[in-house]
Amino acid sequence: MVEVFLEYSKEKIMNAKSPLLRHVVLFKFRDSSSEDEVEHVVSSFMSLKSQVPQIVAMEWGRNIGEENHHQGFTRCFVVSYRSIQDINDYQKHSAHLDFQQILSPHMEKVFVVDYYSND
């Protein structure tokens, strides 16, 4: 009986999903930035998924809320990682540093929240 329980526990541990680290980024763009420039920033940011191996998943969307609580933040990105070390490596990755140069002339503000998923 003990062996069965230990085997079951081992299998459960081996198959358990670790919670993902979510890196939520919201951008508020300068009024002087055109829609084409903003879309270039968005596509450049999304291209990081194919350039940075630490990124597990990435998605984005444009604010559609009607409550007017967005404070000018119009684009939201959710980037998933497996660990804090992965996000630290991402921050120093040359592709991320290059992206910051693309973003910089257009970004008025950024808001970031990092958390581990609870599902």
At 99 the three-state DSSP class reads helix
Q: Would the pLDDT of 119 be above 70?
A: no
Which pair of structure tokens corresponds to residue 45? 């940011």
pTM of the entire predicted model: 0.81
Q: Would you state the pLDDT for residue 29?
A: 98
43-82 per-position pLDDT tens digit: 999 999 999 999 999 999 999 988 888 999 999 999 999 9
* Strand residues in 1-119 grouped as ranges (E): 21-29, 57-62, 75-81, 107-116
Which pair of structure tokens corresponds to residue 109? 């503000």
- Count of CB atoms situated within 10 Å of the CB of 6: 10
Q: Would the pLDDT of 8 be above 50?
A: no
Q: How far is CA 75 from CA 13, 52, 54, 63, 104, in A?
A: 37, 21, 22, 6, 15
83-111 per-position pLDDT tens digit: 999 999 999 999 999 999 999 999 999 99
Per 3-state DSSP, the chain is made up of helix, strand and coil in percentages (nearest 5) of 40, 25, 30
Residue 9's H or E segment, with its range, is helix 2-15
Domains, the chain, in order of start with CATH, read 19-116 (3.30.70.100)
Q: Which of 13-17, 58-62, 111-115 has the lowest mean pLDDT?
A: 13-17
